Structure 1
Amino acid sequence: MRIERTTRPADHSGPTATSAVDVLVMRQTIALVLPAEEELRPGLNIDTLIGTIRSHMELIVPEIEAKALALDKNDIPRYCALACVGEAHGKLRARAGHGAYAALVFARKLARSLAALCDHYESLTGMPICTACDTAIHPRSEKATYERVSNSGGAVVSHIHAACANRPRRT
């Protein structure tokens, strides 16, 4: 197994000079308000979080739209991504209700929508997925390559997070 530090993906599927999309930062923002069962951390301003999530959505939506529209009209990932973009446009037009609780509920709706957009972005850009924990391997993550023999006898190279290298696969 080989562990390597990367600051930029070889396939350039992460943020580039022409794209301000940083899925890792977006997912870190989502984690501030989700899961819904947890209380919001003290000191976080819900209005600021809503504004940040909206900004992330406004950045990622055109990227997903462009990548999805480049696919064949009968392609299912295109259809799903564009449906998610349509839902996101509706969420961006909506406003939070009155009161702190309504604002928190609204922030969580936006965060779930942003999470779905991040999933589509990762899928459309071919961002590698860790075979140990089934989450995206982001460009700034430390990763390891895992070489094994496939059932057909050929060599298969998978990528995993360096932190997942010695963990058993979850079921």
Structure 2
Amino acid sequence: MATERAQNAASVPRAVGQDHLPLDVEAMRVAVNRLLDPGAGAHGVPPAAGELEMLTLQLRGHLQLLAPEIQQTASRLPRQSPSRCCVLACLGEARMTLDTEPEPTSAAGAAHARQLARVLNALLDHHENLA
């Protein structure tokens, strides 16, 4: 069911004549920090199961929006550029993480959500460095 919702979340409508929607980098960072910085949440408490599922879907959606932008930017870098190689490796990690379905346990779900957050954080850093 979560996979189905994540796939539906990937179907982001585009405005007519608009190549892409603006990225909300700040909202992406907030989601990342919620999982990677336990003190960032309400009263420093890790997310509950329902919030964790929502954050996981949100992180997946953010990655699905950000990855094509990063891919396009990386394609303009010189082929042998160390930056390009690093960005492409990070994109590969993002795709692999998005394709991974965690075990149906709360610990595995939390670990997967944190991995999504780490990959999104790295792609956001690349996005800022390449801008």
Is contact 2:49–2:106 with CA below 8 Å preserved after alignment?
no
Is contact 1:67–1:124 with CA below 8 Å preserved after alignment?
yes
Q: How many residues end up aligned between the 2 structures?
A: 110
Structure 1 segment 20-169 matched on structure 2, within 5 A? 20-35=22-37, 39-42=45-48, 45-125=51-131
Aligned AA for 1:81? V
> Looking at CA atoms only, which structure, 1 or 2, has the larger radius of gyration?
1
Report the counterpart of residue 8 of structure 1 in structure 2.
none
Shift, 1:19, TM fit: 3.5
Q: What does the per-residue CA deviation read over 1:24-53, in whole Å, with 9 as the maximum and x for residues that have no partner?
A: 110001111113696414585211111100
Aligned AA for 1:23? V
Name the SS for the 1:19 alignment partner: coil
TM-score (norm 1): 0.59
Q: List alignment gaps of at least 5 residues for structure 1.
A: 1-15, 126-171
Q: List alignment gaps of at least 5 residues for structure 2.
A: 1-17
Distance 1:39 1:109, change over 3 A: farther
Mapped to 1, the partners of 2:48 and 2:114 lie a distance apart of 16
- Of stretches 58-67 and 41-50 in structure 1, the one that deviates more from structure 2 is 41-50
Distance 1:28 1:45, change over 3 A: same
Tell me how large the CA RMSD over aligned residues is: 2.2
Shift, 1:101, TM fit: 1.6
Shift, 1:20, TM fit: 3.1
Mapped to 1, the partners of 2:116 and 2:90 lie a distance apart of 12
Is contact 1:36–1:108 with CA below 8 Å preserved after alignment?
no
Mapped to 2, the partners of 1:99 and 1:117 lie a distance apart of 27
Aligned AA for 1:24? E
Instruction: Percent identity, please.
Output: 33
Distance 1:67 1:95, change over 3 A: same
Greater share of helix = 2
